[in-house]
Structure 1
């Protein structure tokens, strides 16, 4: 299985887990348009190739310090001839966040160093977030005279309106411990060694779960609050019936009775 060719990302595939490393360490992995487009392509590839989980992290001790200022300056030049250049440039990152949110696999963010602006947004759309205690999370946009346009809905969904207002309207930064307190991340680690151990535990837990069952469960969870309850429960019952009669459902039941690992456990 050939991995996509990328310039701003490092990719490795191991036992159904795709490790994506944002690889622009000189700019603390700031999000260029090229990086956004490469991430879109990689997540499309992952969804089409039965990848069970994606681990997203940054090179050089930082997760992602937000948008690339140099790209923004280039867009300023384009805006002279294209009045919607800024809108198009901004919107593509929201498309990425939506794509990753709905990806039919488990997304794990491993956060060290800076997770600002777009990096904050990437944390918000992960299924599991593990962070160093000294990581720095923030929404600095308003202090720069701009707004957190594309990440705002995902931030509110993740941590709630009250916390989102405080962080966005004051332009605050918080550390990993504080991020866990408001529900932004799930686990906080003191150093690189414990961070890696937490990641391996998370991957071991995912390995115990049936891939199709995880895919359907994630889709169901994402519908909550967006569909009428009765129709959602009807759809869930249909999905349950399909799951219990599927090859995974049959295998899971037999493995439980026979007290052995299911055949999807590596």
Structure 2
């Protein structure tokens, strides 16, 4: 696996974990078109690499992401509506790809988690926030729409809460994000945040990478596929897994009372 060169991201591989840090701290890691492109390239580069078990996404400088980049939007203004639509849809493409990424996507949420940052939190498999993080969908207060984010917010927290948050641009903290089901953990401080991240990554490490990828795809398919055909396909996948290398290793490890090779 060769990772792309990035100007807006910091990349660090630590064993089976790829740490991706949004690195535009002067703008609270606002999501530029360049950053969108680099994130999509990184996700594509590791998509088929089962040696990467988890991707940890966070922001530099104490903030996760404060939303879209105003400079990009100003530049699109001169080119007209089509340029705005293309700029907006590119971020939606990133969310689609991140949602479907085979690896476990972990979002570590500090400071501003607004607009596009909120959207990224909604497509994570595990979301860990610090209690004083600030979440919100500010778009309507700026006279615009959370156009690409909205479907992912609805799927994450439900239509009723999404309507309230999007139509009031209300801000809320990590504890409220936990109550809404937006995040899985709200931690008191940075030290507790780091401890929780290490715990979650250790749990991911126990799970077979191929089984995790197939399970994630199965869970996502429940939102769009009919139940009968979905269960038919799942039965075939189960049979392939049981008779495959991971299934054989997992069964043998259980009998021999040892850790399977992916958890060594």
Same fold (TM over 0.5): yes
| Residue 24 of structure 2 is aligned to residue 24 of structure 1 | yes
Partner Cα distance (2:82, 2:4) in 1: 30
- TM-score, normalised via structure 1 length: 0.97
Deviations 1:51-82 (A, max 9, x none): 21100000000000000001100011122xxx
CA contact (8 A) 2:129 2:183 kept: yes
Extract unaligned runs of 5+ from structure 1.
none
Task: Tell me which residue corresponds to 2:56.
Answer: 55
Alpha-carbon offset, residue 2 of structure 1: 3.8
Deviations 1:198-238 (A, max 9, x none): 00000000000000000000000000031110101101100
Matches within 5 A, 1:178-193: 178-193=176-191
Task: Tell me which residue corresponds to 1:204.
Answer: 202
Matches within 5 A, 1:140-219: 140-219=138-217
Partner Cα distance (1:63, 1:256) in 2: 40
Task: Tell me which residue corresponds to 2:239.
Answer: 241
Task: Tell me which residue corresponds to 1:72.
Answer: 73
Task: Tell me which residue corresponds to 1:227.
Answer: 225
Partner Cα distance (1:133, 1:200) in 2: 18
Superposition misfits of 4+ residues, deviation over 4 angstroms: none
Extract unaligned runs of 5+ from structure 2.
none
Deviations 1:143-189 (A, max 9, x none): 00000000000000000000000000011011000000010000011
Paired residue secondary structure (2:225): coil
Paired residue secondary structure (1:54): strand
Partner Cα distance (1:239, 1:215) in 2: 12
Partner Cα distance (2:209, 2:48) in 1: 13
* Root mean square deviation of aligned Cα: 0.8
Number of positions where the alignment pairs a residue of Structure 1 with one of Structure 2: 263
